[in-house]
Structure 1
Amino acid sequence: MATTTQTCYRHPSRETGVSCSNCGRPICPDCMTPTPVGMRCPECSKQRTAVHTLQNVGSAVQLTPVLIGVCVVAALASGSIGAGGSGNELFARGALFGPLVADGEYWRLITGGFLHSGLIHLGFNMYLLWMLGNMLEPALGQVRFALLYLVSLLAGSAGALLVNPNAVTVGASGAVFGLMAAAFLELRARGFDPMASGIGPLILLNLMISFVPGLNISIGGHIGGLIGGVVVTVVLQQTDSTQRRTAGTVALVVLAIAVAVAGVAIAKSATPVGF
């Protein structure tokens, strides 16, 4: 099989097998600058990619605590973390429920992901959100992390409706599964073993728990969120260079709209029943 030999863009006489992780131009050892996201050429290294240390990582993680705060406030306001976790009128108006989504209450595709049925349900999801958010938000940036979370949440809602449109479904699990998928793929792309890091086993464990009878877990929500996270991460990785980030952001906004429309279409198949 014939192969094409690359030469350094600054030193054409030097062959190389390494390309800049930002712009993709081939670079020789003299032109390589190590960064947290791979080798970069002299021009791209001057962009000063932020290095997140213990001193500044806190300032890079801002959206994650906001999401956790919204979930906690929603749980308290909805009265769903007490005994039984049945909730009040706020819970009834925000939970995901196919027939009411089909009737035009489209906000349920999102609000259902911020409500929870009990303290254990809330605590487990918030622990995972905190752990994964601290890993992904500094690496992706707030805008792309927000889009990852949104698309995963909407994909989880669509998956839940696809499996059982007449079930009342709440929880951030769909979005969290999307974050787990993103963490798995990002670790692998950066040369780490996701299974050794604990992310791989975490995904497998949660998927297995999803199929345990009697736990009343939304299998469709979990798998839908996982698929959403995979699709978003692939888009992010394909548009990681500076020149492509705007196109990637637009693509994810379009994807979020498309997933929401799909969720509404799935909800149309629901059999009207009382809530």
Structure 2
Amino acid sequence: MTLSLAIIIITCLISITTFNRPDKMDELSMWPYMVKEKKQFYRFFTSGLVHADYMHLGFNMLTLYFFGRYIESAFLQLFDSKLYYLGFYLLALVISDIPTYFKYKNDYNYRTIGASGAVSAVVFAFILFNPWQRIGVFFIPMPAIVYGFIYLGYTIYMARRGQGSGINHDAHLWGALFGITFPLIFEPRIGPYFLDQLLHHYR
């Protein structure tokens, strides 16, 4: 079994069991105030195991299924260990929520859930390896790099508008940036490879 599939199964099991249990969802959510007051740092990880509903869960896990398999395989070839992919995913959960923590640590009412930050990291790592790979975005085919620019633009715009939608766009943005920087830090040769793919391998 791949690590991606194991993460998907665990996330689905925990998410589904908390759908109708708001108390349990609160216990696992990213609640910056509780992290600050009660030192509940585990929330950086557990918030990625719970989702609002089946649509929220399905979108994240389907995305992870399609993109995670490739990144897991690529990391295994590069680093000869599955631990890099696991560390990548877990760090993405934490780092994508750090700005949210500092922004809302004094707000008792704010909390957020979902694996979107880590999933964004996986998607953008994929773009780093395959910028011109055509992917389906709501059934519209487009190169991955084009989707990346659209996604970042939308995320930055929505993050500046605030959190009225209930979606943590800050986590999406920082997860995406982490997905690009993590592979480059551990294997700088990916940078020239990305540029070669970008300039000479348009499909």
TM-score normalised by the chain length of structure 1: 0.56
Larger-Rg structure:
1
Q: Which letter maps to 2:88?
A: L
Indicate which of 83, 87, 90 corresponds to 1:147: 87
1:177 aligns with 2:106: no
Percent identity at matched positions? 21
List aligned pairs for 1:35-54, cutoff 5 A. Answer: none
Which residue matches 2:9?
69
Q: Give the CA deviation at 1:172.
A: 0.6
1:161 aligns with 2:101: yes
SS in 1 for 2:9: helix
Is the CA contact (8 Å cut-off) linking 1:162 and 1:220 kept in structure 2? Answer: no
Do the aligned partners of residues 238 and 209 (structure 1) sit closer, same or farther apart at CA in structure 2, a change above 3 Å counting? closer
- Unmatched 5+ stretches in structure 1: 1-58, 241-275
List per-residue Cα deviations over 1:144-191 (Å, max 9, x = no partner): 111211111111111322443432110010001111221111225xxx
Partners of 1:76 and 1:66 lie apart in 2 by 16
Is the CA contact (8 Å cut-off) linking 1:161 and 1:220 kept in structure 2? Answer: no
Partners of 2:166 and 2:33 lie apart in 1 by 20
Q: What count of residue pairs does the alignment treat as equivalent?
A: 170
Is the CA contact (8 Å cut-off) linking 1:163 and 1:220 kept in structure 2? Answer: no
Do the aligned partners of residues 147 and 222 (structure 1) sit closer, same or farther apart at CA in structure 2, a change above 3 Å counting? same
Which residue matches 1:203?
148
Partners of 1:69 and 1:144 lie apart in 2 by 20
Is the CA contact (8 Å cut-off) linking 2:155 and 2:173 kept in structure 1? Answer: no
Q: Which letter maps to 2:147?
A: L
Is the CA contact (8 Å cut-off) linking 1:91 and 1:115 kept in structure 2? Answer: yes
- Specify which structure has the bigger relative contact order, considering alpha-carbon pairs within 8 angstroms and separated by 6 or more residues: 2
- Unmatched 5+ stretches in structure 2: 77-81, 136-141, 191-203
Q: Give the CA deviation at 1:224.
A: 1.6
Which is further off, 195-204 or 96-105? 195-204
Indicate which of 71, 91, 96 corresponds to 2:30: 96
Which is further off, 134-143 or 160-169? 160-169
List per-residue Cα deviations over 1:18-53 (Å, max 9, x = no partner): xxxxxxxxxxxxxxxxxxxxxxxxxxxxxxxxxxxx
Which residue matches 1:222?
172
Which is further off, 213-222 or 197-206? 197-206
Q: Give the CA deviation at 1:67.
A: 0.6
User: More helix per residue: 1 or 2?
Assistant: 2
